[in-house]
Each structure stands twice: as C-alpha cells, then as structure tokens.
C-alpha cells in the first residue's frame, strides 16, 4: 500500500497494491500492522462498516460528522462507479480549519481516504449506480450527529456540475457559524 500524506494532519490518501492475473485481481484494503507502520499514532479499531448506494449521477450526500464524544475516524472506498469525496477540517484549533480536501475515488483507481476525527465528510456521484464502503472506529449515535450545509460560502465546495439529487436533510444542515458545537 502507498500512503500519501495530505496538507491536513492525519488525513491520508491510500492506494492499495493490486495483484492481478488471468483470474482477476486481489488487493488488501486494510491490515492493522501496515496502517500502524505507515501512519504515526494510528490506533483506530473498526467497529462499524457501512455500505452506501446512490442510484443516479449527480447525487450529493454530506457534509456529515459526529460530535464529541462520538467523533469518528473513517476509511472510505468506492467499490462501484465514481465520486468526488470531500472532507472539511472542522477542528477549530487546526491550522487547516475550514479548509476542504477532495479527491476522486472510483472503482478503477481503488484509492481510499482515511478521514480522521474532526472532519465533516460528503461525496458527489460522477456515475449512476455508485457504491461506497466505509469503516468507522465509532458507533453511530444519532443524538451526536451533525452536518454542514454544502452551500455555505465559508466552505466553498466546487462541483463539476450542479448536484441533481440532495436530501432535504442535507439541504437543511446549518451554516458553519451556526454549528460551533463540533468540537
């Protein structure tokens, strides 16, 4: 696996090594010892796995997070189709506070994103029938969930084309100044 640091503390882009032959291919998507060797202070224990399906191109989901004490680290991978995966640093003491990072994850490039605690997360589908798999190191707790409105001018998300499908929930997340309970 290749672990690429980003400008954001503890946010890594990971490229698994794919071994292929006439039968197809194999790749390891997680190995605790490899993660611990390549990511300083890595100590996540995965307790939940989610699988997301978006039927139509142009679907936006996000920007979601969980508040303390249920903040979570996520490992996200696109297994079918393609997305632009977005994260926003909402750690108010961070030098990258409110900065956005995005990357294309798709079934061809097989890249994964390790998202640390203190980030809001969302994605935009670039193809129909797109699926993502996420590992989480914290159980979902609806009483501690939060979100940021993706149209917030503080966030400045850019899309290759306008979102076609966004849930009412995601459209009604508050802007950042109304959401200071994140840390």
Which residues participate in catalysis according to the annotation? 64, 134
Q: Are 163 and 124 in contact (CB under 8 A)?
A: yes
Helices (H) and strands (E) in the chain, counts: 2, 14
Residue 161, C-beta contacts closer than 8 angstroms, at least 6 positions apart:
58
**Taking Cα atoms as reference points, which of 9, 174, 177 lies closest to residue 91?**
9
**Taking Cα atoms as reference points, which of 174, 165, 124, 125 lies closest to residue 147?**
174
**Taking Cα atoms as reference points, which of 134, 74, 83, 135 lies closest to residue 107?**
83
Q: Are 97 and 91 in contact (CB under 8 A)?
A: yes
Q: Are 82 and 107 in contact (CB under 8 A)?
A: yes
């Amino acid at each position: 696996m290749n672990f690429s640091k980003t400008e954001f503390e503890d946010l890594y882009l990971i490229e698994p090594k794919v071994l292929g032959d006439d039968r197809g291919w194999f790749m390891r998507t997680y190995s605790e010892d490899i993660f611990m060797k390549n990511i300083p202070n890595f100590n996540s224990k995965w307790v939940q796995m989610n699988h997301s399906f978006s039927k139509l191109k142009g679907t936006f989901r996000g920007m979601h997070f969980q508040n303390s004490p249920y903040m979570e680290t996520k490992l996200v991978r696109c297994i079918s189709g393609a997305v632009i995966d977005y994260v926003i640093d909402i750690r108010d003491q961070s030098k990258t506070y409110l900065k956005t990072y995005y990357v294309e994850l798709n079934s061809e490039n097989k890249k994964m994103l390790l998202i640390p605690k203190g980030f809001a997360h969302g994605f935009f589908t670039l193809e129909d029938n797109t699926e993502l798999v996420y590992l989480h190191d914290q159980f979902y707790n609806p009483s501690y969930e939060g979100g940021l409105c993706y149209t917030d001018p503080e966030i400045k998300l850019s899309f290759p084309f306008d979102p076609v499908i966004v849930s009412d929930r995601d459209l009604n997340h508050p802007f950042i100044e109304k959401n200071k309970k994140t840390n």
